[in-house]
Amino acid sequence: MKVCSQLINLVTAIGSIILAAFALYLLSYAPFLALTPNSNIFTEYRAPAFYRPAEWTIAHTPLQSPLLKWAEWHDVRNTIEIQVLFFYDGVSNPGEEIDWNMASP
């Protein structure tokens, strides 16, 4: 019985550490973009592939609203919304994959 209790405590501790690490990862996305030069200036900026899971989380889970509010607090909500749109549309290099002049006369 004591071994079972210790195993449950170990699994709970490991699960808590993994959950905390994932939360810190998600919360690091907005400050990363806020500190990255040109991420707010150039529409064709694409966040590193390291943050693709964060973009997926924003696009496909109920965490979208709180993460966008967090991004708004860092003044990068519009940038994150564009990044998520790129992710959703499968765009990996906006500078080459999108014709930015298609709307001009």
Instruction: Chunk the chain into consecutive blocks of 10 residues (it has 105) and report each block's average pLDDT, rounded to whole numbers.
Output: 88 96 95 77 67 89 94 90 76 54 49
pLDDT, position 73 = 95
The domains of the chain are located at 27-97
pLDDT, position 27 = 95
* 3-state SS assignment for residue 75: coil
pLDDT tens-digit readout, 86-96? 777 666 655 55
81's enclosing H/E stretch is: helix 77-89
pLDDT, position 100 = 47
Longest pairwise C-alpha distance within the chain: 76
pLDDT, position 94 = 55
pLDDT, position 70 = 95
Taking CA atoms, 38 is separated from 33, 47, 62, 79, in Å, by 9, 11, 29, 10
pLDDT, position 82 = 80
